[in-house]
Amino acid sequence: MALVWTPRAAETFAELKNAALKAKQTREKTKKTKTSKQEGLFKQVIKCLTLLERNPRHPGLNTHEFTSIEHPYRNGEKVFEAYVQHKTPGAYRLFWCYGPEKGEITIIAITPHP
């Protein structure tokens, strides 16, 4: 499957990436070895995207239908929620749908659990 991004999701992804890079630079300057929360979150987002791209039904994603967001391309089509984090306060979720073309998955949003 190929990943397609909504502008909102692409912006959030870029923000998470920049925060992780900044945290990593700060950590390296201070010679700390433990990764920051921002670095860990971004790593989890990458893992979730990789699993989603390979197999949207991967059990680790805990994918299920999410009805509060409308499909960006076709009314009445399903939107799904996948877990980026588990058992974490304010755990991040990734919202996605199939389309617009066959073999594509659109990333709608990456956000803390609503």
pLDDT digits (tens, 9 = 90+) for 48-101: 999 999 999 999 999 999 999 889 998 889 999 999 998 888 899 999 999 999
C-alpha to C-alpha distances, 69 to 2, 3, 81, 103, nearest whole angstrom: 21, 19, 10, 21
Render pLDDT for 21-59 as a digit per residue (tens, 0 to 9).
Answer: 999 999 889 888 888 899 999 999 999 999 999 999 999
Among 110, 111, 112, 113, which Cα is nearest to 3's? 110
The predicted pLDDT at position 32 comes to: 86
Given CATH 3.30.2310.20, say whether it is the number of domain 2-112. Answer: yes
**Structure-token pair, residue 5:** 């991004």
For the chain, give every domain's residue range.
2-112
